[in-house]
C-alpha cells in the first residue's frame, strides 16, 4: 500500500493543475458545492478537490499522481446517477466529462469506440444517420455519459429486449487505481480467460476509470410501433403486463405509469397526451421486421383489451411516438413540480408478482400518508416508486423514509433485488446484507481488492466495509488510521441537509 | 446436508489435504482445456433438478448438474426454452456450459452464456458458498460475480446453481440449407447480400465441404440458416432469402448433428474477429479443400471454428494455416482478433497457449478465490 | 426553507422556482457555457445549486467565484425547454443577479452601458455616433484588431451590410388590426432600415401601423444584469406608451426585447398598481415573425439566394417561437434555405455579454461560425440585433464570405423585387 499523502490540499491542487491546467482543478469550497451531490440530491458529501482531465493521458497522469500520494478519489461522469455513487466525502472527485471524443466508428462491423465522457444521446445521434443505434437508453440519456453507464451497468426502457450496458460493451481501456493501464475484453467480441470486462461493468467506480470504451451498435429496426393502453385500475395494468410477457412476445419496451405520474407529466412541458383520468397506462413498443411486428401488435392489442384496457392507441408517426416517450423519460424530472424534494427508488421483483407488490406499495403509502408515484420498466419487473415530499418537514421526511424502507423490504421478500439499474452507491449499501450473505459480500470485497488493493477508488460505496473480512484484517494489522488519512481541513464541509441525515440514519438503524 | 454443503465438504477436504480437484459435470468435455493434474474428480453430474421455475417470470433456477436436455424438457412443457446450444451434446450440464462459456449457433440471435445468466451460486476455493446476481431479470446489486465465473473453467469456484433467462418457444422454427457450389465470387456476392439484408436469423453458419459432408448436405460448402419467430416473420425472411439463393429445408436435427461435429476431435480452435473480415475471405476459406479440417464460420458474430480429428501435428498446422488470413490480416487491423483454443493435443498446449490468465488481475483474482490452487489447476494455464 | 440566509431579497422570493429543480442534469447538454467551460458551476443545474447555497448560507453573495459563475451565464435560457420540472431559469437568474448587485458593484463597462441605455437623451447621441461611425470605413479597418475594440468595431461594421433593395410603396388594408412597433434602442440606432422594413412588411400583410410615442428601451439588458429597478422603470413607461397607442399588437423585431416584454407581468408582479396592466400588455406583444406567419405571409418577388437560419435564443427558448421565422423565409420565392447544424445553440451574444465576458463569448461563437461556413450560404438570417452583430462581427473577423441579416429585411427585399 502506498503511504498516505504528506501533501496538503493546496499542494495536491497545484500538482493536479500542472497536469490539467488551472481552470480544471477546483479547490475553493464554494466551487465544490455543486459537486456535493448527483441526481439524488438527498445525499450530500463535500469533496475536497475536483479535477477534470481533458485527455486520456491527462486522466492517467492524474490517477498516477493520486496513486503516488496514496490519495482516495471518486470517479464522476455527468453526475446524473441516482444512488449517491459519485459523491466524494472530503476526498477528490475525478470528473471524466471532458473526455468526449468519439474515437472511431466502424459502420460495417457495428461498433464504436468512444471516450468515457461521451454523452449517451450524443453517441446515438452520431450513429443514427448510418441506421444504427446504441441500445441502452437510460432515461437520463440526454445527459449521462457512456463511462457512467459502464460504471452503473445502466439499463433503460429498451433493455427489456436489447439488454443492459453489460450486453453492449465489447472492450475497454481502463486505468486502474494504481495508475496501470489495462485493456479489458476484446474488440472482436470474444476472448478467453476471465471475463474482466464483465467484472468491471457495474463496478460503480470502485475498480478504476474506463477511459476508452468499445460498444456494440444495433441496426435500427425496420419497424417500430408504440402502443398506449390506459386502464382505470393499477391492478388491471399489472395483470396485462404479466400476460404480455407470458404470451412470449418480447416487446422492445413495456413501461408502466400510474395515475399520479400521468397527471404530473401532463402538467409539464413534456405533456404526451396521456389520458389524465386514467389510473394507469402501459407504453408498449414492438419493433423488428414489419411483418412480425404487425402480427405481434394484434396479439398485444388483444391482450390489453381483454385485460380491461379502456383505450389502446397506436402512435401514428415518429412525432407522436417521440412525444409518448418524452413523457415517460422525463417523468422523474417532472416530479419536481409536486414538492421540493424527491426520493427515486429502484427495485426489481419477479414479473408475476407485479400486481400484488403494487397493492402492497399502495397499502404502505396509505399507512404512512405519502403519495407514491409509480413509473417503471414493467416488462422486466424493475420498479421505480418515487415519493415527492418536503425535507423541511421532519415528520413528513420520517414517514417517507419509513415507507421506502418498507417498500424495499417487500421487494426483497418477493425474491427481488434492491437495484435494477441505479446501482448501490451510498443509497443501497444498507440493504446489501439483506440480499447477500457474508461470504458473498466478502467475495465481492476480494474482487475489489484485486483491482484496487488500497481501496482508494470510490471508498465507502457498494459493499459495506465491515463485511470485508480480509480488508479488515489488513486494516487492523496496520492500525485503522492508515486506511485513509484525511487531508487537513481547509474549510468547514457543507452542512448535510436534514433529509440526507434522515435518510441515512433510517437505513443504518434499520439493519 | 444439502447438495451445496456436500460440495463444500469436498472442497474443504481438498484444501485440508492440498489435493487438487478436477471439477466435472457429466464428464463429456474433459478433453477440452489444458491438462489438469488432479487426484480427485468432483463430479456434479448428479446434482441436478429444478430449484425454482415460475413460467410467467421466464426465469429458471436449476442445480448446476442439470443437463441441457433436462432443461429443454422442463421448459418445453410451458412452451419456453433456453436458447443455448453449445457444441457437444445435450447431455452436457448447464454448470459446465456456464463454466466454460460455451455457446453454439443460437448465440447469433440470443447471445452468449454471459447474456443469459442472471445469477449463480458457487463454492470458492476456500469452501465458502457465494452467490452473485439474483433471480430477477435485471439486477445491478453488488459486483458482477456471475460474469466473473462465466468462462472461468471452474478455476474460481464450483458452480452449484444457476438462474437463467428463458424465452418463449417460437411459434415457427425452421432451418434451411443453401449449397455454395458456385464460384468464390458468387459466394462472396451472396454473403454480402445476406450481410446487408434485414434478415435476423436465429442462427447462421457457413460450412466448408468437410463440414457439409458430415451433415449429409453434399460435398460443397453450404450455408445453414435457422429462421424463427411468428409465422409472418419467418415467411418474409424466407421469401427474401429465396430471392437470392436456392434454399432447401432441412430437419432441425441437422443442428444437433452440427453441434456434435467435434466429437473425437483432436483440436478445436476458435477465431473471433470483426465480422466484415469474413465477407472477403470466407469464400476462399470455405473453398480451400481441407478434407480433414472441418470449418464453420458464423459471419454475424465474426467467429470461425476449426476442428480437426485424428492426425496430429500436420493437421494442426493445416488448421492454423487456414485461420491465418483471418487472424493476421494484411490490413494491419489484426489487433481486434482473438484466437481461442478450445481443445489441443496435450503436448501442444505449452507451446501454443501456455496461459490465458497470466496477467496480474487474473492472477490476483485466482489467488483471492482459490488461494491454494486446488480447483482445476492449470486448465487455463498459470 | 428554515433559516434563509438572504431574507427579503429577490432570490428569496424565487425559492419555489429553485425548489422545482430535482437535480436530474437534463439541462447540462443544452447549456453553451457548460459545454465550453466544462464545469458544472457553469451549468444551469450548478448555478441553481449556487442559488440554493446562497439562500442556505453555505456561500456568501460576495464570494467572487459565485459571482463569476453567475456572470458567465449567457441567459440564453436553452435550459428551459429541456427542463422537465419547468424551472423558470431566466427569472431565477435575474433574481440572483439583482440580489448579488446589492452586495457588489456592477463592472464599470456594464454599468456604463446600462446607464446609457436607460436614458434616451444619452442613448440617441450614442447611437447616432455609432451610426456615423458605421457609415465610415473605420469599423472595417479596425475590425481586425485583436480584442474587444476590434470586435466592437466588427459589430458596427456588420450593421452596414444589409441586402440591396429598391424602394417600394407598402400598401395594405389593415384588416388584421392595429400594430405598434417597438423601435428599440439598438434596432433604432443601428438597424433603422430594418425597423422601416418591419413597418412595410407588416403593412403589406394587413396590419395598420400606429405610432407609440414615449416608448423607451425595453429594459431587457437591465433585467438580465440584475438591475430590476431600472428595468421596471422602463417597463412602466413602455406600458403607458403602448396603452395610449391603442394598438392591438405590439410588434417586436428584436427577440430579446420581445421576450422581456411578454414577461412584463412577471417583472411587475409585486407592483399592485401595474401588475394587471403589465400582464395585459405582455399578452399583446408578438415577435414580428409571429404576426407575419399569422398572415401567411404574402409571397413576394423572387430572391434567388442561399440563406441559412440561426434561431435567437430569446425567440426559441424564451418565447418558444420556432416555426414562424421559417415561414417568413418560406414566403420568399427562389430563396434556398440551407439547414444550419446546431442552429438551436446560442451564438454567445447574449445582450452585452460579448462585451463583458469576451472569452466565453468567443468560445461559444466559434462552433457557430464553423457551422455557418459549412453551409456555404452567403446570408445568415436571425431576428435579434445582438445575434445579428455577434454573428456579423464573427463572420467579418473570421473572413467568412457571409453576412447576417434580419428575416424581415429579406422579406422586404422580396416585396421590393415584386414591385419592380
**Confidence category of residue C1, pLDDT binned at 50, 70, 90:** low
| B112 interaction partners in chain A (CB closer than 8 Å) | 190
User: What is the pairing mode between strands A169-175 and A209-216?
Assistant: antiparallel
For residue A500, the model assigns a pLDDT of 33
For residue A42, the model assigns a pLDDT of 83
A348, A440, A450 member nearest B139 (Cβ) = A348
Question: What are the CA-CA distances from residue A281 to residues A388, A420, B234 (Å)?
Answer: 20, 21, 32
Are A209 and A245 in a shared domain?
no
A64's CB contacts (< 8 A; 6+ apart) are A179
CA A406 to chain centre: 22
Nearest to A39 by CA among C40, B112, C297: C40
Q: Which CATH architecture has domain B172-343?
A: 3-Layer(aba) Sandwich (3.40)
Q: Residue B279 class from Cβ within 10 Å (0-12 exposed, 13-18 middle, 19+ buried)?
A: middle
Q: What are phi and psi of B265, to 5 degrees?
A: -70, 150
A52's CB contacts (< 8 A; 6+ apart) are A20, A24, A25, A94, A95, A96, A97, A98, C38, C39
Q: Which H/E stretch holds residue A354?
A: helix A354-368
| C-alpha to C-alpha distance for C364 and C402, rounded to whole angstroms | 19
pLDDT tens for A18-43 read: 999 999 999 999 999 999 999 988 88
Peptide bond into C297 cis (omega under 30): yes
| C22 interaction partners in chain A (CB closer than 8 Å) | 41, 332-333, 335-336, 342
B150, B335, B361 member nearest A450 (Cβ) = B361
For residue C331, the model assigns a pLDDT of 93
**Confidence category of residue C132, pLDDT binned at 50, 70, 90:** low
Give yes or no for a contact between B273 and B252, defined as CB atoms under 8 angstroms apart. Answer: no
Which of A154-168, B215-229, B304-318, C183-197 has the lowest average pLDDT?
Answer: B304-318
C-beta atoms of A333 and C41 within 8 A = no
Q: Which H/E stretch holds residue C245?
A: helix C228-245
User: What is the pairing mode between strands C249-252 and C285-287?
Assistant: parallel
Give yes or no for a contact between C387 and C349, defined as CB atoms under 8 angstroms apart. Answer: yes
C-beta atoms of B148 and A195 within 8 A = yes
Nearest to C155 by CA among C390, C358, C385, C351: C390
Give yes or no for a contact between A201 and A166, defined as CB atoms under 8 angstroms apart. Answer: yes
For residue A333, the model assigns a pLDDT of 81
Mark out the alpha helices in C78-159 (DSSP H runs).
89-101, 108-117, 120-135, 138-142, 147-159
| A292 interaction partners in chain B (CB closer than 8 Å) | 229-230, 232-233, 236
Are A106 and A211 in a shared domain?
yes
Nearest to B238 by CA among B194, B191, B286: B194
**pLDDT above 60 for A511:** no
SS3 C49: helix
In degrees, rounded to 5, the angle at the alpha carbon of residue C206 between the alpha carbons of residues C205 and C210 is 115
Cell 490490413 belongs to which residue? B331
Q: Would you list the DSSP string of A122-152?
A: HHHHHHGGGTEE-----TTTTT-BHHHHHHH
| C-alpha to C-alpha distance for C181 and C302, rounded to whole angstroms | 27
CATH 1.10.1060.10 domain range(s) in chain C: 10-101
Give yes or no for a contact between B119 and B163, defined as CB atoms under 8 angstroms apart. Answer: yes
C-beta atoms of A190 and B148 within 8 A = no
Size of interface A-C (CB pairs under 8 A): 111
DSSP C316: I
Sign of the torsion formed by the C-alpha atoms of C277, C279, C282 and C283: negative
DSSP A35: G
User: Which one has a higher pLDDT value, C178 or A465?
Assistant: C178
C207's CB contacts (< 8 A; 6+ apart) are C172, C174, C176, C177, C178, C179, C249, C251, C291, C295
CATH at A175: 3.30.465.10
Are A208 and A239 in a shared domain?
no
Question: Any idea where the domains of chain B sit in the sequence?
Answer: 3-169, 172-343
**Confidence category of residue A321, pLDDT binned at 50, 70, 90:** very high
Positions in chain B whose pLDDT score sits under 50: 332-334
For residue A126, the model assigns a pLDDT of 95
Q: Count Cβ atoms below 10 Å from residue A126 Cβ, excluding itself.
A: 16
Q: Which CATH architecture has domain C297-419?
A: 3-Layer(aba) Sandwich (3.40)
C-beta atoms of A439 and B130 within 8 A = yes
Cell 476462399 belongs to which residue? B284
Give the CA-trace dihedral at A41, A45, A47, A51, to 10 degrees. Answer: -30
| C33 interaction partners in chain A (CB closer than 8 Å) | none
Are A106 and A213 in a shared domain?
yes
A206, A250, A348 member nearest B138 (Cβ) = A348
For residue B49, the model assigns a pLDDT of 97
Strands (E) across A11-167 are located at 25-26, 49-51, 73-76, 92-95, 102-106, 111-115, 132-133
CATH at A281: 3.30.70.2190
Indicate yes or no: pTM above 0.95. Answer: no
For residue A465, the model assigns a pLDDT of 81
**pLDDT above 80 for A85:** yes
Q: Structurally, how many domains does chain A consist of?
A: 2
ipTM: 0.95
Chains touching chain B at 3 or more Cβ pairs under 8 angstroms?
A
Which of A111-115, A181-185, B239-243, C356-360 has the lowest average pLDDT?
Answer: C356-360
**pLDDT above 50 for C332:** yes
Q: Count Cβ atoms below 10 Å from residue A466 Cβ, excluding itself.
A: 10
C-beta atoms of C84 and A330 within 8 A = yes
C10's CB contacts (< 8 A; 6+ apart) are C94, C95, C96, C98, C99, C228
pLDDT tens for A214-264 read: 999 999 999 999 999 999 999 999 999 989 988 889 999 999 999 999 999
Q: Which CATH architecture has domain B3-169?
A: 2-Layer Sandwich (3.30)
Q: What are phi and psi of A239, to 5 degrees?
A: -65, -40
Pick the residue of B12, B34, B134, B137 with the most A CBs within 10 A to test the interface with A by mutation. B137
For residue A490, the model assigns a pLDDT of 29
C-beta atoms of A449 and B368 within 8 A = yes
For residue C359, the model assigns a pLDDT of 86
Nearest to A211 by CA among A154, A147, A143, A151: A147
In degrees, rounded to 5, the angle at the alpha carbon of residue C137 between the alpha carbons of residues C136 and C138 is 90
For residue A69, the model assigns a pLDDT of 94
For residue C146, the model assigns a pLDDT of 67
Are A227 and A293 in a shared domain?
yes
User: Which one has a higher pLDDT value, C99 or C185?
Assistant: C99
Q: Which three cell numbers stand for residue B312?
A: 496430429
| C-alpha to C-alpha distance for B252 and A129, rounded to whole angstroms | 39
Are A214 and A278 in a shared domain?
no
For residue A294, the model assigns a pLDDT of 93
**pLDDT above 60 for C419:** yes
Are A191 and A126 in a shared domain?
yes
| B124 interaction partners in chain A (CB closer than 8 Å) | 439, 443
For residue C42, the model assigns a pLDDT of 96
Q: Would you list the DSSP string of B8-25?
A: HHHHHHHHHHT--EEEES
Cell 433559516 belongs to which residue? C3
For residue B182, the model assigns a pLDDT of 85
For residue B287, the model assigns a pLDDT of 83
pLDDT tens for C258-279 read: 999 999 999 999 999 999 999 9
Name the closest residue on chain A to residue B273, using Cα atoms.
A188
CATH 3.40.50 domain range(s) in chain C: 177-292, 297-419
For residue A4, the model assigns a pLDDT of 54
Residue range of the domain that includes A296: 221-332
Do B and A make contact via 3 or more CB pairs under 8 A? The reply is yes
Q: Considering the domain boundaries, does residue A421 fall inside one?
A: no
A28, A143, A330 member nearest C28 (Cβ) = A143
Nearest chain A CA: its distance from C287 CA (Å): 21
Nearest to B171 by CA among B235, B225, B228, B254: B228
Give yes or no for a contact between A416 and A348, defined as CB atoms under 8 angstroms apart. Answer: yes
Question: What CATH code would you report for C10-101?
Answer: 1.10.1060.10
Chain A residues with CB-CB distance to C under 8 A? 23-24, 26, 28, 30-31, 33-35, 37-41, 52, 54, 78-80, 97-98, 119, 121-122, 140, 142-144, 268-270, 330-337, 340, 342, 392, 494-495
Give yes or no for a contact between A463 and A444, defined as CB atoms under 8 angstroms apart. Answer: yes
Which of A184-198, A476-490, B256-270 has the lowest average pLDDT?
Answer: A476-490
| B301 interaction partners in chain A (CB closer than 8 Å) | 189-190
Are A177 and A243 in a shared domain?
no
**pLDDT above 90 for A338:** no
For residue A118, the model assigns a pLDDT of 98
Q: Count Cβ atoms below 10 Å from residue C284 Cβ, excluding itself.
A: 17
Q: Would you list the DSSP string of B77-118?
A: TTTEE-----SS-TTSBHHHHHHTT---TTHHHH--HHHHEE
User: What is the pairing mode between strands C249-252 and B338-343?
Assistant: unpaired
For residue A504, the model assigns a pLDDT of 33
Q: Which CATH architecture has domain C177-292?
A: 3-Layer(aba) Sandwich (3.40)
Give yes or no for a contact between A424 and B142, defined as CB atoms under 8 angstroms apart. Answer: yes
C-beta atoms of A419 and B152 within 8 A = no
Report chain C's mean pLDDT, rounded to a whole number.
89
Are A287 and A187 in a shared domain?
no
**pLDDT above 50 for A488:** no
Name the closest residue on chain A to residue C22, using Cα atoms.
A336
Report chain A's mean pLDDT, rounded to a whole number.
89
Give yes or no for B371 touching A (CB within 8 A): no
Percentages (nearest 5) of helix, strand, coil residues in chain A: 40, 20, 40
Are A115 and A215 in a shared domain?
yes
Give yes or no for a contact between A169 and A215, defined as CB atoms under 8 angstroms apart. Answer: yes
For residue A499, the model assigns a pLDDT of 33
| A270 interaction partners in chain C (CB closer than 8 Å) | 84
A108, A219, A377 member nearest B276 (Cβ) = A108
Name the closest residue on chain C to residue A99, using Cα atoms.
C38
Domain boundary among A192, A219, A246: A219
For residue A510, the model assigns a pLDDT of 31
Percent of chain C predicted with pLDDT > 70: 90
Question: What are the CA-CA distances from residue B219 to residues B210, B215, B247 (Å)?
Answer: 7, 10, 16
Give yes or no for B318 touching A (CB within 8 A): no
**Confidence category of residue C281, pLDDT binned at 50, 70, 90:** very high
| A373 interaction partners in chain C (CB closer than 8 Å) | none
Nearest chain A CA: its distance from B250 CA (Å): 23
Amino acid at each position: 500500500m502506498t503511504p498516505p499523502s504528506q501533501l496538503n490540499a493546496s499542494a495536491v491542487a497545484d500538482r493536479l493543475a500542472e497536469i490539467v491546467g488551472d481552470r480544471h482543478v477546483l479547490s475553493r469550497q464554494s466551487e465544490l458545492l455543486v459537486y456535493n451531490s448527483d441526481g439524488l440530491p438527498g445525499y450530500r458529501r463535500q469533496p475536497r478537490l475536483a479535477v477534470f482531465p481533458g485527455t486520456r493521458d491527462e486522466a492517467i497522469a492524474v490517477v498516477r499522481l493520486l496513486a503516488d500520494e496514496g490519495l482516495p478519489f471518486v470517479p464522476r461522469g455527468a453526475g446524473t446517477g441516482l444512488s449517491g455513487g459519485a459523491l466524494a466525502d472530503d476526498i477528490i472527485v475525478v470528473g471524466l466529462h471532458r473526455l468526449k471524443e468519439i474515437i472511431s466508428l466502424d459502420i460495417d462491423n457495428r461498433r464504436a469506440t468512444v471516450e468515457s465522457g461521451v454523452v449517451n444521446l450524443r453517441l446515438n445521434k452520431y450513429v443514427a444517420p448510418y441506421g444504427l443505434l446504441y441500445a441502452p437508453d437510460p432515461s437520463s440519456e440526454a445527459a449521462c455519459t457512456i463511462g457512467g453507464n459502464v460504471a452503473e451497468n445502466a439499463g433503460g426502457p429498451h433493455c427489456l429486449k436489447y439488454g443492459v450496458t453489460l450486453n453492449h460493451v465489447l472492450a475497454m481501456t481502463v486505468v486502474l487505481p494504481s495508475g496501470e493501464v489495462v485493456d479489458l475484453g476484446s474488440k472482436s467480441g470474444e476472448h478467453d480467460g476471465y471475463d474482466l470486462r464483465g467484472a468491471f461493468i457495474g463496478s460503480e467506480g470502485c475498480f478504476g476509470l474506463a477511459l476508452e470504451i468499445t460498444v456494440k451498435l444495433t441496426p435500427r429496426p425496420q419497424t417500430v410501433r408504440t402502443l398506449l393502453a390506459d386502464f382505470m385500475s393499477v391492478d388491471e395494468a399489472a395483470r396485462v403486463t404479466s400476460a404480455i410477457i407470458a404470451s412470449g412476445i418480447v416487446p422492445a419496451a413495456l413501461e408502466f405509469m400510474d395515475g399520479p405520474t400521468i397527471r404530473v407529466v401532463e402538467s409539464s412541458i413534456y405533456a404526451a397526451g396521456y389520458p389524465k383520468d386514467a389510473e394507469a397506462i402501459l407504453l408498449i413498443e414492438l419493433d423488428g421486421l414489419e411483418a412480425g411486428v404487425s402480427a405481434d401488435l394484434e396479439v398485444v392489442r388483444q391482450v390489453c383489451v381483454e385485460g380491461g384496457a379502456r383505450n389502446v392507441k397506436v402512435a401514428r408517426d415518429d412525432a407522436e411516438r417521440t412525444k409518448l416517450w418524452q413523457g415517460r423519460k422525463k417523468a422523474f424530472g417532472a416530479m419536481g413540480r409536486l414538492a421540493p424534494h424527491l426520493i427515486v427508488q429502484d427495485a426489481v421483483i419477479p414479473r408475476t408478482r407485479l400486481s400484488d407488490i403494487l397493492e402492497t406499495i399502495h397499502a404502505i403509502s396509505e399507512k404512512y400518508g405519502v403519495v407514491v408515484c409509480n413509473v417503471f420498466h414493467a416488462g422486466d419487473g424493475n420498479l421505480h416508486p418515487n415519493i415527492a415530499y418536503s425535507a423541511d418537514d421532519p415528520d413528513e421526511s420520517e414517514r417517507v423514509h419509513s415507507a421506502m424502507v418498507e417498500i424495499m423490504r417487500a421487494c426483497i421478500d418477493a425474491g427481488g433485488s434492491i437495484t435494477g439499474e441505479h446501482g448501490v452507491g451510498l443509497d443501497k449499501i444498507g440493504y446489501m446484507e439483506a440480499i447477500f450473505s457474508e461470504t458473498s459480500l466478502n467475495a465481492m470485497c476480494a474482487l475489489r481488492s484485486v483491482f484496487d488493493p488500497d481501496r482508494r477508488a470510490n471508498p465507502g460505496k457498494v459493499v459495506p466495509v465491515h463485511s470485508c473480512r480480509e480488508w479488515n484484517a489488513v486494516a487492523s494489522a496496520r492500525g485503522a488510521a492508515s486506511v485513509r488519512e484525511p487531508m487537513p481541513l481547509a474549510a468547514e464541509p457543507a452542512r448535510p441537509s436534514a433529509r440526507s441525515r434522515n435518510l441515512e440514519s433510517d437505513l443504518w438503524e434499520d439493519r | 446436508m444439502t447438495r451445496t454443503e456436500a460440495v463444500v465438504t469436498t472442497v474443504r477436504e481438498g484444501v485440508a489435504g492440498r489435493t487438487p480437484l478436477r471439477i466435472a459435470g457429466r464428464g463429456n468435455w474433459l478433453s477440452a482445456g489444458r491438462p489438469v493434474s488432479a487426484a480427485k474428480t468432483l463430479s456434479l453430474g448428479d446434482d441436478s433438478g429444478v430449484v425454482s421455475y415460475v413460467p410467467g417470470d421466464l426465469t429458471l433456477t436449476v442445480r448446476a448438474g442439470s443437463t441441457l436436455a433436462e432443461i429443454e424438457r422442463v421448459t418445453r412443457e410451458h412452451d419456453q426454452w433456453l436458447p443455448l446450444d453449445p457444441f457437444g451434446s445435450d447431455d452436457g450440464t448447464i454448470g459446465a456450459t456456464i463454466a466454460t462459456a460455451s455457446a453454439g449457433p443460437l448465440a447469433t440471435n440470443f447471445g452468449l452464456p454471459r447474456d443469459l445468466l442472471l445469477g449463480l451460486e458457487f463454492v470458492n476455493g476456500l469452501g465458502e458458498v457465494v452467490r452473485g446476481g439474483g433471480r430477477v431479470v435485471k439486477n445491478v446489486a453488488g459486483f458482477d460475480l456471475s460474469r466473473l465465473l462465466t468462462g472461468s473453467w471452474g478455476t474460481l469456484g464450483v458452480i452449484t446453481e444457476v438462474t437463467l433467462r428463458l424465452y418463449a418457444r417460437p411459434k415457427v422454427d425452421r432451418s434451411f440449407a443453401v449449397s455454395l457450389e458456385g464460384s468464390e465470387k458468387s459466394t462472396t456476392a451472396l454473403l454480402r447480400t445476406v450481410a446487408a439484408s434485414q434478415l435476423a436469423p436465429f442462427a447462421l453458419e457457413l460450412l466448408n465441404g468437410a463440414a457439409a459432408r458430415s451433415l449429409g448436405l453434399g460435398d460443397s460448402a453450404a450455408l445453414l440458416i435457422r429462421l424463427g419467430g411468428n409465422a409472418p416473420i419467418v415467411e418474409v425472411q424466407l421469401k427474401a432469402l429465396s430471392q437470392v439463393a436456392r434454399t432447401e429445408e432441412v430437419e432441425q436435427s441437422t443442428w444437433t448433428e452440427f453441434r456434435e461435429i467435434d466429437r473425437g476431435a483432436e483440436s478445436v480452435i476458435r477465431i473471433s474477429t470483426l465480422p466484415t473480415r469474413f465477407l472477403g475471405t470466407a469464400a476462399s476459406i470455405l473453398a480451400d479443400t481441407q478434407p480433414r479440417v472441418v470449418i464453420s464460420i458464423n459471419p454475424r458474430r465474426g467467429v470461425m471454428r476449426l476442428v480437426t480429428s485424428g492426425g496430429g501435428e500436420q493437421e494442426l498446422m493445416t488448421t492454423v494455416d487456414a485461420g491465418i488470413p483471418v487472424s493476421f490480416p494484411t490490413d494491419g487491423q489484426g489487433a481486434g482478433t482473438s484466437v481461442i483454443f478450445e481443445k489441443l493435443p496435450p503436448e501442444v498446449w505449452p507451446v501454443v497457449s501456455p496461459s490465458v490468465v497470466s496477467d496480474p488481475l487474473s492472477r490476483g483474482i485466482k489467488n483471492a478465490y482459490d488461494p491454494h490452487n486446488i480447483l482445476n489447476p492449470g486448465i487455463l494455464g498459470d | 426553507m428554515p433559516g434563509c440566509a438572504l431574507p427579503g431579497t429577490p432570490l428569496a422570493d424565487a425559492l419555489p422556482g429553485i425548489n422545482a429543480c430535482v437535480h436530474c442534469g437534463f439541462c447540462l447538454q443544452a447549456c453553451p457555457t457548460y459545454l465550453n467551460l466544462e464545469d458544472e458551476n457553469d451549468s444551469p443545474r450548478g448555478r441553481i445549486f449556487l442559488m440554493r447555497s446562497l439562500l442556505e448560507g453555505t456561500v456568501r453573495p460576495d464570494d467572487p467565484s459565485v459571482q463569476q459563475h453567475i456572470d458567465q451565464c449567457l441567459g440564453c435560457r436553452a435550459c428551459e425547454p429541456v427542463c422537465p420540472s419547468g424551472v423558470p431559469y431566466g427569472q431565477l437568474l435575474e433574481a440572483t443577479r439583482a440580489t448579488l448587485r446589492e452586495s457588489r458593484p456592477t463592472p464599470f463597462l456594464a454599468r456604463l452601458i446600462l446607464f446609457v441605455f436607460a436614458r434616451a437623451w444619452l442613448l440617441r447621441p450614442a447611437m447616432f455616433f455609432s451610426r456615423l461611425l458605421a457609415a465610415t470605413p473605420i469599423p472595417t479597418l479596425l475590425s481586425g484588431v485583436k480584442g474587444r475594440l476590434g470586435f466592437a468595431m466588427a459589430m458596427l461594421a456588420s450593421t452596414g451590410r444589409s441586402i440591396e433593395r429598391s424602394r417600394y410603396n407598402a400598401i395594405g388594408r389593415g384588416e388584421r388590426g392595429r400594430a405598434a412597433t417597438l423601435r428599440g434602442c439598438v434596432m433604432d440606432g443601428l438597424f433603422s432600415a430594418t425597423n422601416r422594413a418591419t413597418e412595410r412588411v407588416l403593412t403589406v400583410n394587413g396590419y395598420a401601423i400606429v405610432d407609440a410615442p414615449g416608448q423607451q428601451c425595453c429594459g431587457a439588458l437591465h433585467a438580465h444584469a440584475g438591475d430590476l429597478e431600472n428595468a421596471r422603470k422602463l417597463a412602466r413607461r413602455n406600458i403607458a406608451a403602448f396603452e395610449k397607442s391603442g394598438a392591438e399588437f405590439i410588434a417586436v423585431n428584436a427577440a430579446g426585447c420581445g421576450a422581456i416584454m411578454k414577461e412584463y407581468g412577471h417583472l411587475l408582479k409585486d407592483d399592485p398598481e401595474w401588475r394587471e396592466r403589465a400582464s395585459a400588455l405582455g399578452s399583446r406583444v408578438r415577435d414580428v415573425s409571429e404576426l407575419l406567419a399569422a398572415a401567411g405571409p404574402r409571397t413576394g418577388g423572387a430572391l434567388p439566394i442561399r440563406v441559412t437560419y440561426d434561431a435567437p435564443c430569446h425567440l426559441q427558448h424564451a418565447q418558444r417561437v420556432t416555426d414562424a421565422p421559417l415561414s417568413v423565409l418560406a414566403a420568399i420565392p427562389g430563396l434556398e434555405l440551407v439547414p444550419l447544424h446546431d442552429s438551436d445553440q446560442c451564438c454567445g451574444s447574449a445582450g452585452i455579454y460579448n462585451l463583458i465576458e469576451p472569452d466565453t463569448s468567443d468560445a461559444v461563437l466559434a462552433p457557430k461560425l464553423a457551422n455557418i461556413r459549412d453551409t456555404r450560404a452567403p446570408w445568415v438570417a436571425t431576428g435579434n440585433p445582438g445575434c445579428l452583430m455577434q454573428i456579423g462581427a464573427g463572420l467579418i473577423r473570421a473572413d467568412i464570405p457571409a453576412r447576417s441579416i434580419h428575416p424581415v429585411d429579406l422579406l422586404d427585399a422580396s416585396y421590393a423585387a415584386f414591385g419592380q
